[in-house]
């Protein structure tokens, strides 16, 4: 593990370059290398998560493109499935999470967040495209604890309010995390529709999910991070 | 106020020649508000050319803006390819299930002929009627999806990105099919009465692809396509960023670039260097909650950044104002343009 951490910056740079070049083979060599003393989860947490975060930040700043964000997430998702399979105990001990597009036919954003979360070691159910009623019903019956919603169109973003109302009526206390262009262009919108958090990028969604899980494990009033979203 | 000696068309042509007309031209790219004016659902509104004509003329009479929008909705092009459109009550219609479900489908894909597509005929009919009613006084804007951006609706965005990276052979074939359709569709609109064609190309934006990718893909497609379109074009990135590629866009032969609220208008104007005119960049999503004062501030800021010397048309940043933006806000935008957009812009020196 010490050796792995000592050379971490170099590993991260190599992985970043491989992902930006869509070089699957090099990315696979870096991620599947048997680093002495480092567990699969440590490789994911120290290598994949920060590099994907860097790609996301680069997109936010305009240095990288959405296609690079998408391909990086997809490659990492495939490779992390190799080293940290869905049945891995680290994935199984998480709260129940799901992602959906709400009354919206644009699914790329959801795909990117889904890949990034899975590549970061989370297990998450993909509900696909759903209407407000379908999503409220499904999230309630599944007892979903964290629900991520991706939209591209403004009318779809506005539907989150009705979704939240329906979820609460059904007794669900699920945390709603939203993302997508309408929320980026109007920073007040996520609060208006009653979401619990807004993620500007897929990597930010990873941070938000971490924070929510921490809060679920510890009362919010004891956590200074509770104001982070 | 005294009537202007400029018609909207003269105003727009003057600014496109990098000179100052009587005031900053205003494009209100309203596709759906006509339905509200006529008290119709969006599905019903778009079912007849006559509705769109009445809607556009009513809106122009009300807001006195400098364009008519001969655009119905983007999914219409996929309809021509055999796809379906899904209507919602308060937003633009969406394309339904992809017509390309696996990459190999592209081998059998043929460009639809405009003459065989009733859905496209409605648009042509509307543009023809608008032209008959307004002559050469106001620009009628037609729209095409770029060959490079249409596949998002033809096959879904994720599958399309996979295709670009993994199947360059099929990507090339898809571009050829889409180029053939795009050119025929654009020229049919120009023949029907459109003054110019807005070439929507969001996938080429720097939000989606890098400049290097753009030069290999969207830029190449634009160069191949625009040279066959027999009229002026505006390239629009539908809220996507374009600052890193402004010079490249100028090389494609387009006259106008639709710019995003995500980027600084002053920098964009500098980058355009008088080779392109700017169209933008009011934030259409935020516009929904603007007060009259917010609208005035946004208009003033945009004019201050890009108005001087012409080469600027004030508009929203997406190429379509959301259905939810109220009449009072649109009116506040119009009033602010009339107040702060009169040339010369002496107030900037005060």
The reply to whether B246 falls in a domain is yes
Asked if residues B284 and B321 have their Cβ atoms less than 8 Å apart, the reply is yes
* pLDDT band, very low/low/confident/very high, at A84 (cuts 50, 70, 90): confident
Whole-angstrom distance, CA of residue A91 vs CA of residue A198: 23
Task: Give residue-wise pLDDT tens across range A87-108.
Answer: 777 776 789 999 999 988 888 9
| Cα A79 → chain centroid | 16
Nearest to B234 by CA among B108, B303, B140, B166: B140
In chain A, CATH 3.40.50.280 covers 94-227
Count CA atoms within 13 Å of residue A105 on its CB side: 19
Q: Domain range spanning residue B69? A: 8-349
CA distance B203 to chain A (A): 9
Q: Write the CATH number for B252.
A: 3.20.20.210
- Measure CB to CB from residue A154 to each of B156, B241, B322 and give the nearest one: B322
User: Which residue is closest to B98 within chain A, CA to CA?
Assistant: A105
Residue B1 has a pLDDT of 47
Count CB pairs under 8 A between chains A and B.
76
Which residues of chain A make contact with B329, given a CB cutoff of 8 A? none
Tell me the two tokens of residue A205: 């969604």
CA distances (Å), origin A69, targets A109, B175, B312: 10, 23, 33
Nearest to A142 by CA among A152, A153, A130: A130
Residues 6 or more apart whose CB falls under 8 angstroms from that of A161 comprise: A192, A193, A194
In chain A, CATH 1.10.1240.10 covers 2-83
The reply to whether B95 touches chain A by the CB within 8 Å rule is: yes
Please check the confidence at residue A164 and state whether its pLDDT lies above 50: yes
* pLDDT band, very low/low/confident/very high, at A12 (cuts 50, 70, 90): very high
Residue A227 has a pLDDT of 35
| Cα A55 → chain centroid | 13
Mean pLDDT of chain A: 89
Asked if residues B6 and B302 have their Cβ atoms less than 8 Å apart, the reply is no
Which residues of chain B make contact with A17, given a CB cutoff of 8 A? none
pLDDT over 70 percentage in chain A: 93
CA distances (Å), origin A219, targets A204, A216, A226: 22, 7, 9
Residues 6 or more apart whose CB falls under 8 angstroms from that of A131 comprise: A102, A103
Which residues of chain A make contact with B92, given a CB cutoff of 8 A? 153
* Domain A2-83 class in CATH: mainly alpha
Asked if residues A175 and A146 have their Cβ atoms less than 8 Å apart, the reply is yes
CA distance A217 to chain B (A): 35
Residue A104 has a pLDDT of 82
Residue A223 has a pLDDT of 42
Nearest to B274 by CA among B14, B16, B4, B86: B16
- Measure CB to CB from residue A108 to each of B92, B157, B285 and give the nearest one: B157
Please check the confidence at residue A229 and state whether its pLDDT lies above 70: no
The reply to whether B291 touches chain A by the CB within 8 Å rule is: no
Please check the confidence at residue A225 and state whether its pLDDT lies above 70: no
For residue A47, the 8-state DSSP code is: I
The reply to whether B22 falls in a domain is yes
The reply to whether B1 falls in a domain is no
Task: Give residue-wise pLDDT tens across range B289-331.
Answer: 999 999 999 999 999 999 999 999 999 999 999 999 999 999 9
* Residue contact B283–A185, C-beta within 8 A: yes
Residues of A18-39 as b/e, b for ≥16 C-beta within 10 angstroms?
Answer: bbbeebeeebbebbeeebeebe
* pLDDT band, very low/low/confident/very high, at A228 (cuts 50, 70, 90): very low
Task: Give residue-wise pLDDT tens across range A108-148.
Answer: 999 999 999 999 889 899 999 999 999 999 999 999 999 99
Is CATH 3.40.50.280 what the domain over A94-227 is classified as, yes or no? yes
Please check the confidence at residue A226 and state whether its pLDDT lies above 70: no
Residues 6 or more apart whose CB falls under 8 angstroms from that of A58 comprise: A64, A68
Tell me the backbone φ, ψ of residue B285, rounded to 5 degrees: -70, -45
The reply to whether B3 falls in a domain is no
DSSP helix/strand/coil, B127: helix
Q: What does pTM read for this prediction? A: 0.93
CA distance A66 to chain B (A): 4
Whole-angstrom distance, CA of residue A127 vs CA of residue B151: 24
Tell me the two tokens of residue B160: 């399309």
Residue A219 has a pLDDT of 57
The reply to whether A154 touches chain B by the CB within 8 Å rule is: yes
Task: Give residue-wise pLDDT tens across range A174-222.
Answer: 999 999 999 999 999 999 999 999 999 898 999 999 999 988 887 555 4
Residues of chain B falling short of pLDDT 70: 1-4
The reply to whether B2 falls in a domain is no
The reply to whether A107 touches chain B by the CB within 8 Å rule is: yes
- Measure CB to CB from residue B86 to each of A22, A105, A181 and give the nearest one: A105
Which helix (DSSP H) or strand (DSSP E) does residue A72 occupy?
helix A66-83
Total domains in chain B come to 1
């Amino acid at each position: 593990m010490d050796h792995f951490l000592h050379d971490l910056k170099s590993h991260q740079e190599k992985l970043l370059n491989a992902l930006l070049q869509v070089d699957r083979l090099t990315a696979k060599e870096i991620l599947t290398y048997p680093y002495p003393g480092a567990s699969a989860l440590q490789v994911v947490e120290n290598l994949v998560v920060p590099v994907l975060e860097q790609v996301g930040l680069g997109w936010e700043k305009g240095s990288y493109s959405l296609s690079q964000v998408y391909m990086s997430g997809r490659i990492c998702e495939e490779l992390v499935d190799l080293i940290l399979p869905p049945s891995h105990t680290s994935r199984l001990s998480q709260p129940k999470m799901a992602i959906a597009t709400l009354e919206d036919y644009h699914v790329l954003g959801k795909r990117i967040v889904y890949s990034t979360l899975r590549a970061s070691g989370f297990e998450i159910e993909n509900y696909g495209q759903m209407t407000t009623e379908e999503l409220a019903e499904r999230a309630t019956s599944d007892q979903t604890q964290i629900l991520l919603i991706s939209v591209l169109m403004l009318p779809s973003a506005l539907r989150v309010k009705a979704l939240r109302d329906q979820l609460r009526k059904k007794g669900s206390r699920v945390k709603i995390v939203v993302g997508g262009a309408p929320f980026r262009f109007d920073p007040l919108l996520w609060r208006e529709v009653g979401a619990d958090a807004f993620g500007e990028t897929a990597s930010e969604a990873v941070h938000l999910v971490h924070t929510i899980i921490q809060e679920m494990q510890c009362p919010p009033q004891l956590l200074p991070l509770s104001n982070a979203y | 106020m005294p009537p202007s000696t400029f018609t909207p068309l003269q105003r727009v042509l003057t600014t496109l020649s990098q000179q100052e007309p009587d005031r900053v031209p205003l494009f209100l790219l309203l596709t759906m508000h006509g339905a509200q004016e006529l008290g119709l659902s969006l599905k019903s509104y778009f079912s007849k050319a006559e509705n769109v004509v009445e809607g556009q003329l009513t809106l122009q009479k009300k807001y006195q803006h400098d364009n008519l929008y001969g655009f119905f909705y983007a999914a219409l092009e996929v309809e021509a390819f055999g796809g379906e459109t899904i209507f919602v009550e308060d937003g633009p219609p969406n394309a339904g299930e992809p017509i390309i479900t696996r990459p190999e489908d592209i081998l059998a894909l043929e460009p639809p002929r405009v003459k065989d597509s009733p859905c496209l005929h409605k648009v042509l009919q509307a543009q023809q009627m608008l032209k008959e009613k307004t002559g050469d006084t106001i620009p009628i804007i037609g729209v095409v999806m770029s060959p490079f951006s249409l596949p998002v609706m033809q096959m879904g965005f994720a599958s399309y990105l996979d295709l670009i990276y993994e199947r360059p052979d099929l990507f090339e074939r898809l571009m050829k099919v889409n180029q053939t359709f795009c050119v025929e569709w654009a020229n049919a609109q120009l023949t029907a009465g459109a003054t110019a064609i807005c070439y929507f190309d969001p996938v080429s934006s720097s939000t989606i692809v890098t400049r290097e990718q753009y030069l290999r893909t969207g830029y190449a497609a634009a160069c191949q396509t625009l040279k066959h379109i027999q009229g002026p074009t505006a390239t629009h990135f539908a809220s996507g960023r374009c600052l890193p590629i402004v010079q490249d866009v100028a090389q494609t032969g387009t006259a106008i670039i639709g710019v995003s609220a995500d980027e600084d208008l002053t920098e964009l104007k500098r980058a355009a260097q008088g080779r392109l005119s700017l169209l933008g960049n009011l934030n259409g999503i935020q516009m929904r909650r603007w007060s009259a004062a917010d609208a005035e501030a946004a208009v003033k800021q945009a004019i201050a950044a890009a108005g001087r010397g012409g080469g600027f048309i004030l508009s929203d940043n997406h190429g379509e104002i959301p259905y939810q933006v109220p009449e009072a806000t649109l009116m506040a935008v119009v009033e602010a343009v009339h107040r702060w957009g009169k040339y010369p812009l002496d107030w900037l020196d005060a």
